[in-house]
Amino acid sequence: MEEPVNARERILSRVRTALGRDRASTITSKLPAVLLAPGTQTDLIHRFRTRLELLNGVTYEAANLSECRAFVAQIAGGRRVWVSSGIPELADLHSATTIDEAEVGITGADYALADTGTLVTFAASDERRASLLPPVHIAILLETRILSGLDELLSAHSRPSEITSSMVLITGPSRTGDIEQILVRGVHGPGELHVVVINDGSPRLSA
Amino acid sequence: MSGTLIKISETLADSSLQSALYKATGRLISHRKAAIDPQVLDNYQELRSHANAVKKHTIENLDHYLEQFERQVAANGGKVVYCENNEEAADFIISIAKQQSARLIVKSKSMTTEELHLNDWLQKHGLETVETDLGEYIIQLAGETPYHIVAPAMHMTRYDVADIFTEHLGIEREEVPEKQTMIARAVLRDKFLRADIGITGANFLIADSGAVVLVENEGNARLTSTMPKVHIAVAGIEKMLPRAQDLGVFLKLLGRSATGQPLTSYTSFLSGPRRENEADGPDEFYVVLIDNGRTRLLENPERRQSLYCIRCGACLNHCPVYRKIGGHSYPWVYSGPIGAILSPQFHGVERDAWLPYASSLCGACGEVCPVKIEIPKLLLELRSEVVEKAPRSALERLAMKAYAFTMTRPFLYALAGRFLRLAAKLPIPNGWTQERDLPTMPKRSFREEWKSL
């Protein structure tokens, strides 16, 4: 047999030879069924808030958009704010000229996971940089979007790539322990994470 | 070996390093233990078995999943490139850098690129590559290699970091870790904003989605994969998982086994460049798939399980040998028990024949492995390969034959026992008993006792 010319062919051919498989490339052993648990549906908002607060996140409950706006204004406290294009409802709070100089970034959250205190953000809904560059991140979350955990998220979206090029799970502030295992927050991402939960039962922010 | 011996004795003699190493690994051990407690995770063992089964299946059908992954990445607008080794990987990255007229590359922590010495290759071609994980940044400035798979600067104190920062950053001496971290943040933030290319590793590759999954705490992997125009993920071919849904099992195991976190601060699921409806993200997305010896490991059905490793570092933390000799005593970037089974298989057992013996065979590594790699068993297998391949003296061969001859003949065995009980009373030359005591021999053997019962 001739030695394949490119690395791709060479590597794939070595893989097949080593595994005793041929080019047809069909699956020869059974792929184990997906292992995802349904999760507990009770008390989602309480569980989410408790978990996130354990990680030093700060949470708020707002009855409607105007209460939410008041919380956000209070947290931002006159600092330079960058509002993600994904939440036009709060666009008037935008005050930074560039995102590099923003002190507070505001985004939505597509979902939250109660078991771990996690926010789920899709690039299709929010600017990736807005939850990443400013030292303070404020996320606006609808209570109806809180899921029990990772398993429920992956059951709802078996292929996140169909919706977005980037799904990021955010579980608490940015942190490191690289120097003597001393916990330091805000090493590269935001050191402060605030989540305002709107519990008016609406499926959309502006509703 | 002699360099290694020096490193080992240096590490053993350094009492502050010994205590730091013991404390740091000890803390990781207790964090993991708390995170897998049945009170908080009721199906840990089920998850391990499942992870093992998924990995076994994936590795046994790896070519299928590689091709599926490749198609999905292309469908997402990205590109997969296969590379045999570091030279090919560097060539590819250099070609992209030329296209982009790139000068500056930011990198997030990746053991695969450490394995390839990618930074050296890129720097030789005039490309500035900056490590951005805090620990990696510190050791890059110091010109060292990672001490631990998940905690690269585990062996350094705040004073070491102060020395390194003062020397390399030209700043006033700073000894407070919080402030040191903020200094690194400021220096690296500037790099993130100016970099043309971001290189990451991949914790997982997802075949059905064409996605790269990055697991981290600092946010530097997010910055590396978000800010520059080009994102290149470099990963070994074995990092594959068939489905996005498999993350339900693997993410639960990885964070808990590594640092005791149910989920780390950030998990990025990245599939391709920025899309039309998206505000930001890279314009180009490449996945460089590396062989670098992995296909050789696939050949042996027993040993290919070494490729299931998800690089959590739990086996290092729990290894009584690693905890004494530290990460720099191992000959390759992968240290600890996993390093002791990977290195001989990548480089041949002859190169570091002592490695499979760097274990007390206590079994802790196998017990804590989240994907159930049978590390102790593989260590034994590799030991027997060492013995098979090593040239043995005629005397040793003769002694072994005599031993086998005696052991298979009860009469001779009893006679030899009686003889040795007497011989043990004689002084032993070579100073063998200077630092150890021989056990006191019983007057009668077990077999004799048994008969008289």
CA–CA separation, A197 vs A141, rounded Å? 5
Q: What is the pLDDT of residue A207?
A: 38
DSSP letters for B71-87:
HHHHHTT-EEEEESSHH
Looking up tokens 């890059």 gives B140
Confidence of residue B1 (pLDDT cuts 50, 70, 90): low
**In chain A, % of residues over pLDDT 70:** 95
Chain B (222-241) residues lying within 8 Å, Cβ to Cβ, of chain A: 222-223, 225-227, 237
CA distance B112 to B116: 6
**pLDDT exceeds 60 at position A1:** no
Phi first, then psi: give them for residue B158, nearest 5 degrees: -60, -30
pTM of this prediction?
Answer: 0.93
Q: Where are the beta strands (DSSP E) in B188-253?
A: 197-200, 204-206, 211-216, 230-236, 240-241
A129 near A96, Cβ under 8 Å? no
What digits encode the pLDDT tens for the residues B151-197? Answer: 999 999 999 999 999 999 999 999 999 999 999 999 999 999 999 99
Rounded to whole angstroms, the Cα distance separating B373 from A125 reads 40
Distance set, CA B212 to CA B61, B69, B200, B203 (Å): 19, 10, 10, 8
CB contact under 8 A, A161 and B24: no
Q: Quick check: B41 pLDDT over 60?
A: yes
Q: State residue B298's pLDDT score.
A: 96
Residue B248 has pLDDT above 50, yes or no: yes
Residue type, A88: P
Q: Which helix (H) or strand (E) is B182 found in, with range?
A: helix B177-194
Mean of pLDDT values over B80-103: 95
Contact B319, B336 (CB under 8 A): yes
Q: What is the mean pLDDT of chain A?
A: 93
- What CA–CA distance (Å, rounded) separates A185 from A174? 6
pLDDT digits (tens, 9 = 90+) for B301-342: 999 999 999 999 999 999 999 999 999 999 999 999 999 999
Q: DSSP for B284-302, please give it.
A: EEEEEEE-TTHHHHHTSTT
Structure tokens at B357: 């013996």
Q: Using CB atoms within 10 Å of the CB of residue B17, give its burial: 0 to 12 exposed, 13 to 18 middle, 19+ buried.
A: middle
A123–B263 C-beta distance less than 8 A: no
Tell me if chain B has a CB within 8 Å of the CB of A50.
no
B46-51: long-range pairs with CB below 8 Å, 24+: B46/A35, B47/A35, B47/B249, B47/B252, B47/B253, B47/B370, B48/B253, B48/B369, B48/B370, B48/B371, B48/B372, B49/B372, B50/A32, B50/A35, B50/B249, B51/B249, B51/B250, B51/B253, B51/B308, B51/B370, B51/B371, B51/B372
pLDDT score of B390? 79
Residue showing tokens 């080794």: B85
Query: CB of B27 within 8 A of CB of B151?
Result: no
Give pLDDT, residue B423. Answer: 82
Percent of chain B's residues with pLDDT above 70: 98
Is the ipTM here above 0.90? yes
End-to-end CA distance of chain B: 52
Tokens 């290919």 sit on residue: B304
Question: If pLDDT is split at 50, 70 and 90, which confidence band does B435 have?
Answer: low
Report chain A residues whose CB lies below 8 A from the CB of B67. Answer: 12, 25
Band (B206; pLDDT cuts 50, 70, 90): very high
Total number of residues shown for chain B:
453
Do B279 and A126 count as a contact with CB atoms less than 8 A apart? yes
pLDDT of residue B207: 98
Please state, in angstroms and rounded to a whole number, the distance separating the CA atoms of residues A81 and A71: 14
Q: Is B46 on the interface with A (CB under 8 A)?
A: yes
Q: What is the mean pLDDT of chain B?
A: 94
Q: Quote the pLDDT of residue B382.
A: 96
Chain B within 8 Å of A123 (Cβ-Cβ)?
A: yes
Of the candidates A69, A71, A153, A188, the residue with the CA atom closest to the CA atom of residue B216? A188
Considering only the beta carbons, identify the residue of A6, A116, A167 that sits closest to B262. Answer: A116
A83 φ, ψ (degrees, to nearest 5): -100, 125
Mean pLDDT in residue range B69-84: 98
Q: What is the mean pLDDT of residues B134-162?
A: 96
pLDDT at position B427 over 90? no
Q: Compute the nearest-CA separation of B22 from chain A (Å).
A: 12
